[in-house]
Structure 1
Amino acid sequence: MSTLRDNWRVILLVIGILISTFALFSPTVGSQPAIGEDDSMTNLKYGLQLDGGTRIRAPLVGVTAEEVEFNGDSDRVVEQQVAAQLPDADAADVIARQTAEGSTVEATAENVTTDELSSALDAAGYAHGEVRDGVTETTRTETVRVLESKINEAGLSGGTVQQVTTATGEHFILVEVPNRDRQDVIDLVGERGTVQIDIYYPTSQNGSRVYETREAVLTQADFTSIGTAQEPQTGGGAFVPVSVRDEPARNFQDDVVETGIAQPGGTQCTYMEEGGRNTTEGCLLLVVNGEVVNAFGMSPGLADGMRSGEWANAPSFQLQTLNTSEAQEIAINLRAGALPAKLDLSGEDGGTSSYISPSQGENFKTDSLITGIIAVLAVAGVVFLRYGKPQVALPMIVTGLSEVYILLGFAAAIGYPLDLSVIAGFIAVIGTGVDDLIIIADEVMGEGTVKSRKVFQSRFRRAFWVIGAAAATTIIAMSPLAVLSLGDLQGFAIFTILGVIVGVLVTRPAYGDILQLLLTEDR
C-alpha cells in the first residue's frame, strides 16, 4: 500500500496513457468527424494539410458607416434610400442596423468606396460618423452561419467555417473543406446565394406595348418547407418544390393578379427563347445571384387559384430550372439563406485559396512521422551520450514519448484536426519536455551519486521550481496565440501549452519518481 502511495505520480501517468489509448482506439470515440477522417484504426482526425482538400481565406466585400442617424426611419427604409444613391446597387446590397452599441449602415456591393457611401448617406439625408473599409462583427458572424449551412446542405462532411483575425487587426473568413477541389468550393461559397422571383409583364404606355419588371415579389425569407431538387417524370429540366409563408403569399398573389400573370387560361412564357423577351406573355423570373436562370408562365389551374384567392390558403408551387444542378444550387441557397456580404476572392486584400491533393496529404503524413522519429532518435542519442546510464536515459525517452501519446489521445477525444502546425507543436513538446527532464537529471546527479531518498527529493524540488517557472513563461508567451484566431498558429500554441501543462502535472513528477526508484538505495 505504501508503494502505491509513494509512486502515485507514476500511477497517474499510467492512467493517462490508458485513457489516451481508449480515446485513440475505441470505436465509441470520435464518431463525429471534424475535418477529415483517417482510414486507419485510430480515431485521429486530420486537417487539410494531412488529408487533402481546399482552404479559402478571404475578407468580406463591404464598407461601413458608423454612428448613422436614422431620423426615425426603419432599417428597411434606410436601406432603400441609401441604395437609391449608390450606383449599381439595390436594397439587398445595403444593411442598416440599429443596436444598443450604435447604428451602422453597410454597403456590400462590389467596388463601393468609403467616399461613395459617405456621399450616398449625405444625399439621403442621414448624418453619420466615420466611414471605414470592412463590415461589422454581426455581418461576419451571420456570414459564418450561412456558409456553414451551405456546406452542410451541400453534403460536404467535415467542412468548417470560422473567423480569423490577423495580428494587424484584419478580419478574414476561413473556409476549409476536405476532399474537394478548389473550384467546387469556390462555386459553393463564392456567390452570395440570393434567390428571388420577379414578375416580367407587358403593359401599355402612351398607347404602346412595353414591358416592366416587378422585382423581388418573393425572396428567400418568404419561402418555407423547401423540398429537394427533383426531375419530372416526363423528363427535361428539374424543379424545387416550395411553400410560401402566409403574408408574403397573399402579397404575391395580389401582385400576380395585378400584373395579369393570372389571366384566364394562364400564360405562355417565351422569355428565355431567342427574340421572345419582347413578345412574350407575362412571366415569373427565377433570379439567382442577380441573373435570370429560368422563366416560366402560369398554368390555367394555378392562375384560377390565384384569381379566386384560394392559392394563398395553401401556398405552394414549383421553382422550375433548366437542369438538376441548378435546382440543387437553388435548394441549397434557399435553405442556407443569402450571404449578407460576398467573399472577396480576388486576392487583392490578403485573400488566399489553396488546394492540397489527397496524395500530397499522405506524403505530409509520412514526412511528419519520419520527422517525429528522427527527433526522438536524436534526443535518445544525445541523452545516452550525456549520461551513459540506461536507467537515466531510457525513462527519460519513455516519459517524453508518453507526453506526446497523451496529447494525441486528447486530440482524438475532442476531434481536433491534426495539421502541420499541431505536428510542430508535438515536436516542440518533445524538445521542451526533454529539456525539463535533463534539468531534473542534472540537478539530481550533478553533485554525485544519490543514495538517500531524502536528498533526492530535496534536489528534485529545486529542479521542479526551475521547470515550473519555465512552464509559466511558456504558457504566458503562447496564450495570445492560443486565444486569437490566427489560423495555423493557434493549433501550434494550444498543443504547446497543453504539452507544458501535462508535463508539469504528470510526466515530470512521474520521471522523478522513476529516477528515485532506480537511483536511491533506501527505497
Structure 2
Amino acid sequence: MNAKEIKRIVADWRVAALLILVVLSVVAIYPHFDDKGNFTTNLQYGLDLQNGAWLQMEFKAEVVGFTTDQPISEFVSNLSKTMDTDVIIVDTANPTHLEIRKYYSRADLEKIFESAGGKVTSYQQGVSKETGELVKKILENKLNSLGTKDTKINIMTGMGNVAQYVRVELAGVDMNQAKALVGKQGKFEIRIQTSGNESEHVLYGDSISSVGNPEKDLQRGGSWGVPFTLNEAGATALQQAAIKYGLTTNPEDHYLIMILDNKTVFNAPMVADAAAKLRSSPNRQWSATTGSGNAGENAAQTLNIHLRAGALPVETTIVGSGAVPAEQGAKNKMVSVIAGILALITVGIVIYYRYREPSIVLPMVLINASEVIILLGFISAIKFQIDLPTIAGLVAVVGTGIDQMVVITDEILHEGRVPSPNLYLKRLGRALMIIIIAAATVIIAMVPLMLFPLTTLQGFALITILGVLVGVIVTRPAYGKIIMEILSK
C-alpha cells in the first residue's frame, strides 16, 4: 500500500477509534524503567504472578429461621442474654430469621429456642449478607490503613444470601504476615477535651463490649448513630472523667474524641441530657450521632468500623490457606508472557495455512494484539489484579477474536472472489450480525461467573466479557474496513 491508501484507512473513524484506544491503553499501562533500571508497568499482579498468601475463613455464626408467640424484641433480648452473644434480626420488616453471632449446633439451638418460647424452622451456618459486607469493609479499611493496597476480599455467599466464608488475598505478603494482618486489631481510644486542643485519655477499645449496626433515630430528626456498649469498668471511667473535666455541666466545651491508630475518627459534644445523667450514675449504653441524610449514614457506617477497631463482628476460623513463593510467581509471569506470544504466532501460522496470503494474516494478528493491549490498558486503569484465570481469559480472547475475523473474511470471500462495494457491505453486515449473536451468547454464559462468589473464575469471566465487547464495538468494524482495502487490491 502507498502512503495515500494508508492515510485513507487511518482516517476512517473505525480504524481511528481503534488506534486511539491502543494509544490510551499504552499510556495506562505505562511501560518504563524504574529508578533501579528495572523494566516495569502500572499493571498489578495477583498471587499467581508474585509472592503472596491467601486465607479462607469460616464464620462461626449461624442464620436461623424461627417462630415464636412472644413479642419479637423480648424474645430476641432473652436469647441474647441466654447465649451471651449478639442476636440480630436479619430483616426487621419481616422478622423470620435471626443471626446468632456465636457458633451453636442446630440441636443446641433447638433446646435454647424451646426454653425461650420459640422454635427453629431452618438453620444455616454463616452470617447475613449485611454482616458479610460489614466484615468486608472492616477488613478493607484495616488492610488499607496498614498500607497493604494489593488485596482482594471476597465474601462467599450461598443460598438464602447467607455468607459462610470470607477469602482474603494479599499480594506481596507471606503467610505469617497475612495471619498477623488479618487478625490484628487497631488501637482505639476515647478522650475528653479539657481546654482548647488539649485532651485527656478516658478508655481504650477493650472497654467496648459490643457495637450495634448504624440506625436512624426518628425522634432526633432522622439523625444516624452507632450504638455501642461499654463494660462496667469503661462506663465508670467515662463517668469519672466527665465529672472531673466538667463535661457533665458544660458538654459543649468538652467534646468526646475517638481516635483509631492516632487518627481522629469522631469529635462531637455529648448530648446535654446524657451528660447530666452521668452526675448520678455511670451509663453503659451509648450512641455516637453522625448526622442526617446520606452523609450521616455514610459517616455512621465508617464510625461503626472504627468503633470495632478492626475487630470482626463474629469469630472466624481459618479453613484454608496457601502461599506463592516469589520464585514461583516470577516463573508464572514469564510462562504467561511466552504463552501469549506463542498463541499469537500459532494463530498467524494457522491463518496463513488457510489463506496463503500474508496481507490477510498480518492485519488479523495485529488486530488480535491490539485487543490484548486494550484489555491490559483497561485492567491497568481500574487497578484490577492480573492472575492466571485473567491470563486464560486473554488467551481465550485471542482465539475467539481470530474466529470472528475468519467469519468476516470467509463471508466476504464467498465463492473466492472479491465482491463489489455494495455486495461487500451486505456481506460484512451479515458477518457482523453472526458475530454479535455469538458475542451475546458468550456474555450470557460468563455473567454467572461474574456474579457468583467463585473468586478464582471472576477474572476469566471479566476479561472474556470485555474482550467480546471490545471486539464487537471496536476491532471487528475496524478489521472490516482494513480487509476491504486489502482485498480490493
Letter in 2 for 1:61: K
Cα 1:458–1:490 shift into 2, 3 Å: same
- Helix, strand or coil for the counterpart of 2:138? helix
Q: In the alignment, is the contact (CA less than 8 A) between 1:456 and 1:520 conserved in 2?
A: no
| Aligned twin of 1:151 | 143
| Whole-angstrom distance in 2 between the partners of 1:388 and 1:308 | 88
CA contact (8 A) 2:48 2:332 kept: yes
Distance between the aligned counterparts of 2:322 and 2:241, measured in 1? 54
Structure 2 letter corresponding to 1:107: I
| 2:156 aligned counterpart, secondary structure | strand
Aligned counterpart, 2:208? 219
Cα distance per residue 1:147-184 (max 9 Å; x no partner): 22332343323223221346998742121112111232
Change (3 A) 1:311 1:124: farther
- Corresponding residue SS for 1:99: coil
15-24 vs 183-192, greater mean Cα deviation: 183-192
TM-score, normalising length: structure 2: 0.71
Using the alignment, how far apart are the partners of 2:89 and 2:481 within structure 1? Answer: 65
1:78 aligned onto 2:76: yes
**Cross-structure match for 2:216:** none
Alignment partner of 1:120 is 2:112:
yes
Q: 1:176 to 1:373 in 2, by over 3 A?
A: same
Asked if the contact 2:210–2:228 (Cα under 8 Å) also holds between the matched residues in 1, the reply is: no
Structure 1 or 2: more helix by fraction:
2
Could you tell me how far apart the structure 2 residues matched to 1:495 and 1:73 are?
A: 48
Any residues of structure 2 matched to 1:167-178 within 5 Å, and which? 171-178=164-171
Say whether 1:497 aligns with 2:465: yes
Range with bigger deviation, 180-189 or 160-169: 160-169
Q: Is the 8 A contact 1:253 1:306 kept in 2?
A: no
**Contact 2:62–2:124, Cα closer than 8 Å, also in 1:** yes
Q: Distance between the aligned counterparts of 1:58 and 1:372, measured in 2?
A: 35
After superposition, residues 232-271 of structure 1 pair within 5 angstroms as 252=233, 255=236
Report deviation, 1:467: 1.7
Q: Which residue of 2 aligns with 1:323?
A: none
Compare the two structures and name the one with the higher strand fraction. 2
Question: Alpha carbons of 1:433 and 1:67: their partners in 2 closer, same or farther (altered >3 Å)?
Answer: same
Q: Could you give the per-residue CA deviations for residues 2-56 of structure 1, whole angstroms, max 9, x where no partner exists?
A: 94798321112112112212222299xxxxxxxxxxx744221111211221112
Distance in 1 between the 2:126 and 2:228 partners? 35
Corresponding residue of 1:200: none
Question: For the structure 1 residues 306 and 439, does the alpha-carbon distance in structure 2 shift closer, same or farther, using more than 3 Å as the test?
Answer: closer
1:59 equivalent in alignment to 2:48 = no
Q: Residue 406 of structure 2: SS of its match in structure 1? A: helix
Q: CA deviation at 1:464?
A: 2.1
Alpha-carbon spacing, 1:430–1:312, altered in 2? closer, same or farther (3 Å): farther
**In structure 1, C-alpha distance between the alignment counterparts of 2:333 and 2:452, rounded to whole Å:** 27
CA–CA separation in structure 1 for the residues paired with 2:473 and 2:99: 50
Kept in 2, the 8 Å contact 1:194–1:333? The answer is no
Matched-pair contact (CA < 8 Å) for 1:425–1:493 = yes
CA gap 1:5/1:178 in 2 versus in 1, 3 angstroms: closer
Partner amino acid for 1:146? I
- Cα gap change, 1:311/1:459 in structure 2, threshold over 3 Å: closer, same or farther? same
Task: Kindly indicate whether residue 25 of structure 2 is the aligned counterpart of residue 25 of structure 1.
Answer: no
DSSP 3-state at the match of 2:169: strand
Per-residue deviation at 1:465? 2.4
Gaps of 5+ in 1: 28-38, 198-215, 223-244, 258-304, 320-331
Unaligned residue ranges in structure 2 (runs of 5+): 33-37, 191-204, 212-225, 248-253, 261-304
Cα deviation per residue 1:435-487 (whole Å; 9 max; x = unaligned)? 11112222222412316333332332232222222112111211221222321
Name 2:18's counterpart in structure 1: 13
The Cα RMSD (Å) is: 3.9
| Cα separation, partners in 2 of 1:353 and 1:101, compared to 1, 3 Å | farther
Contact 1:24-1:42 within 8 A present in 2 as well: yes
Partner of residue 202, structure 1:
none
Partners of 1:318 and 1:11 in 2: CA distance = 54
Change (3 A) 1:442 1:428: same
What code does the residue aligned with 1:181 have? Answer: D
Count of paired positions: 399
1:387-415 CA deviation, whole Å, 9 max, x = no partner?
11111111111111111111111111111
Equivalent residues of 2:89, 2:95 under 8 A apart: no
CA distance in 1, matches of 2:228, 2:486: 81
Partner residue, 2:374: 406
Q: Deviations over 1:466-513 (max 9, x none)?
A: 222211211121122122232121111111111111111111111111
Aligned to 1:189: 182
Partners of 1:156 and 1:217 in 2: how far apart?
A: 25
Q: Does 1:91 align with 2:85?
A: yes
Amino acid at match of 2:79: V
SS at 1:64's partner residue?
Answer: strand
Select 1:417's aligned residue among 385, 390, 395. Answer: 385
Displacement, 1:141? 1.6
SS in 1 for 2:165: strand
Matched residue SS, 1:78: helix
Matched, 1:427 2:421: no
- 1:146 Cα deviation from its structure 2 partner: 1.8
CA distance in 2, matches of 1:253, 1:519: 82
User: 285, 288, 313: which is aligned to 1:340?
Assistant: 313
Tell me how far apart the structure 2 counterparts of residues 312 and 401 of structure 1 sit (CA, whole Å).
Answer: 71
For 1:107, which of 100, 121, 124 is the aligned residue?
100
Give the letter aligned to residue 123 of structure 1.
S
2:431 is the counterpart of 1:463: yes
**1:138 maps to amino acid:** E
Counterparts of 1:431-450 in structure 2, within 5 Å, are 431-450=399-418
Alpha-carbon displacement from aligned partner over 1:169-208 (angstroms, at most 9, x marks no partner): 87421211121112322234358899999xxxxxxxxxxx
Q: What is the CA–CA distance in structure 2 between the aligned matches of 1:193 and 1:60, rounded to whole Å?
A: 21
Distance 1:66 1:482, change over 3 A: same
Task: Find 2:131's aligned residue among 126, 136, 139.
Answer: 139
Normalising by the residue count of structure 1, what TM-score does the alignment of the two structures yield?
0.66
- The equivalent residue for 2:280 is none
Query: Contact 1:9–1:510 (CA<8 Å) still a contact in 2?
Result: yes
Provide the C-alpha distance between the structure 2 equivalents of 1:475 and 1:316, rounded to a whole number of angstroms.
51
Distance 1:396 1:172 in 2: 44
Please report how far the alpha carbon of residue 108 of structure 1 lies from its aligned counterpart in structure 2 after TM superposition. 3.0
Q: Per-residue displacement from partner, 1:209-242 (whole Å, max 9, x unpaired)?
A: xxxxxxx9931669xxxxxxxxxxxxxxxxxxxx
SS of structure 2 residue aligned to 1:82: helix
- Residue 514 of structure 1 and its aligned partner are, at CA, apart by 1.0
Q: Confirm or deny: 8 A CA contact 2:22 2:373 kept in the other structure.
A: yes
Q: Is the 8 A contact 2:9 2:15 kept in 1?
A: no
Distance 1:333 1:5, change over 3 A: closer
Find the aligned partners of 1:3 and 1:23 in 2 and give their Cα distance: 28
Question: Aligned letter for 2:329?
Answer: G
